[in-house]
Amino acid sequence: MPETIQVLLDETRSFPPSAEFVEQANLSDPGIYDHANGDPVAFWEGWAGALDWVERWHTALEWNPPNAKWFLGGKLNACHNCVDRHLGGPRSAKRAIVWEGEPGDTREITYHELRDEVCRVANSLKELGVGKGDRVCLYMPMVPELAITMLACARIGAPHSVVFGGFSAESLWERINDLQAKLLVTADGGWRRGHIVPLKHIADQALAMGCPSIEKVLVMNRAGVPGTLTNGVPTPDYATGVWNEQIDVRWSDLVPRQPKECPCEPMDSEDLLFVLYTSGSTGKPKGIVHTTGGYLTQVLATTKWVFDLKEQDVFWCTADIGWVTGHSYVVYGPMANASTVVMYEGTPDTPDKDRFWRVIERHKVSVLYTAPTAIRTFMKWGAEYPDRCDLSSLRLLGTVGEPINPEAWIWYHETIGKRQCPVVDTWWQTETGAILITPMPGIVATKPGSATRPFPGIGAAIMDDGGHDVSADHIGRVRAGLRPAPVGGFLVLTRPWPAMTRGIYGDPQRFFDTYWARFPGRYFTGDGAKLDEDGYFWLLGRVDDVMLVAGHNISTMEVESALVDHPAVAEAAVIGRAHEIKGQAIAAFVIIRSSHVASEALTEELKSHVAAKIGPIARPDDVIVAAELPKTRSGKIMRRLLRDVAEGRALGDTTTLADPAVVAALKDKYEDKES
């Protein structure tokens, strides 16, 4: 039987933390791993104790797989811990949010001002009939009011569910009804690439499909009527929503007149904080449930240690709040740490491809957390854009979203970090709530492409097809000073952690079947991974994306990394297509850098490069040069659609794509090649 996943790519470069960084780091003692793993429950209790509790818990953990409860009996409020507890001293005047709209308009909100605004919105929600336990759906642009409304919901004990402001009416309708939301909060529109996304119009379409639970719709004004100027930029013509006097309420009529005082509702540690929907393999979105005490404890801890956050830092996580990364590392994690958070509304190429770097320069961002897909796009555009800007304020870089190719890691380190900034490559999921595998920047020597080690207190292992733990012996040999050959398999989590999902909303059986049935007592992440000779974890992508080529299970990530290693390639997506002899053949879709020209000679060179880099078995059968790759609005490549293209099938659902035209163009190009 072949290995669960072949281990092919060999990356030997290593970057230990500098002495200067270690000296000032929040965490620099390697002994923290043994300490935390020796008694992980006590370790997490220590972090929970850093929060304000109305009542302290009596039991730290109740674990009946697959159900975990953390800090039982404890009562607290997430909004209080993110806002109110920072007031009364110098932090009252500290900037909480530094916001920049796509047209260039800006706002700064201090923690004192944030509390006032949150209270006004919380009182508005109450006036609209929202109380403890009522669900609120948020469909908004990337503006401060989105974070404020989340905190206002938490303040009064109303669970929120944010729907990304680029999703379709059908996606919004589906989520509202699954959640049985009582209130929808939206905006007239939001800016994206110089245009207005007509959010109110889309929301109207969703409600017209039938959302009987919705009683009111609170509508914020962001776009204005056509011709309105925003920082000198006129609002273009767009399809406005139709005002419904029966349920629609103007933010400008309701919120400003509310009092600036609203008490925080004491919440049980296991009370629902939010539900966030993620795509499911059946086509029906999964409502991932996160509760209050454990989630807040872990995002507090990971934000503080992974990003080495200091009081003076300006932290920019570039994710939209519509994704879990935005929940944990734009709102709850940084604000629980009283950090200054940057929010940006638009895209990185508006008005020019230097927009991200201009934001960093203008606001003196010191910690940047972004996605590998964005980094590879920046590589494609070239170093000229970041080189225009002063990035000297940066001191730490992070990545999130999917495995990062080693060459993209190196480009990020050298071009953006100027070889001075540690790079923390983080692995986690919507379901995990917080970062689980990551370097501690003051302790761990990083390797390009590796997420390195589990966060202290987190248990992770690699299983084979037969359900055997292949990592335990491997780690033992590493600790004995040996350098065992790398092993690959399925990534699982071996013990409960505070921020873990408490289930799929309304569907406990699906929760068990998806995450807990395959390896009893262990959480199956759905990802492949390997352990290298130093015991470092390397994420290999979704198991569904592993290719079976002539009896060898090959990770798409390793082939993509080999392709991006070539100087002509900016980005690559690899899939396995059906092959009558080999079972699957490797098909690669690549974006080449502007300094190179597509040709038959180049495609043959790329095939040979992969074979030389990781072995002949991984040589692609097809290399297709593409202008763009099909990506979701969060930046993830949709390899399922690439398989449809390569195998000549009708295209599956494309509603979550940032640009559905991309995959149609690829289909035409692939068919031209085959003809």
Q: Which of 286, 523, 294, 317 is nearest to 400 (CA)?
A: 317
596 is in an annotated binding site: no
Cα angle: 30, vertex 32, 33; to 5 degrees: 85
388 is in an annotated binding site: no
Under 8 Å between Cβ of 267 and 419: no
Please enumerate in sequence order all residues whose Cβ is within 8 A of that of 328, keeping only pairs 6 or more positions apart, or say none: 299, 302, 303, 433, 434, 499
**Cα 288 from Cα 280, distance rounded (Å):** 11
342 is in an annotated binding site: no
Helix axes 661-674, 639-646, angle to 10 degrees: 30
569 is in an annotated binding site: yes
Q: Which of 137, 142, 130 is nearest to 262 (CA)?
A: 130
430 is in an annotated binding site: yes
Under 8 Å between Cβ of 528 and 555: yes
320 is in an annotated binding site: no
* Distance from the Cα of residue 312 to its chain's centroid: 24
Burial of 535 (0-12, 13-18, 19+ CB in 10 A): middle
429 is in an annotated binding site: yes
192 is in an annotated binding site: yes
* Phi, psi of 118, rounded to the nearest 5 degrees: -60, -45
571 is in an annotated binding site: no
426 is in an annotated binding site: yes
542 is in an annotated binding site: yes
Please enumerate in sequence order all residues whose Cβ is within 8 A of that of 175, keeping only pairs 6 or more positions apart, or say none: 137, 161, 163, 277, 285, 287
567: preceding bond cis by omega (within 30 degrees): no
Q: How far is CA 244 from CA 241, 281, 463, 643, in A?
A: 9, 36, 55, 44
384 is in an annotated binding site: no
Place of tokens 């759906």: 137
233 is in an annotated binding site: no
Residues in binding site = 192-195, 325, 401-403, 425-430, 527, 542, 564, 566, 569
Binding residue ranges for Mg(2+): 564, 566, 569
- Please state the residue numbers annotated as binding site for CoA: 192-195, 325
Q: Which residues are annotated as a binding site for ATP?
A: 401-403, 425-430, 527, 542
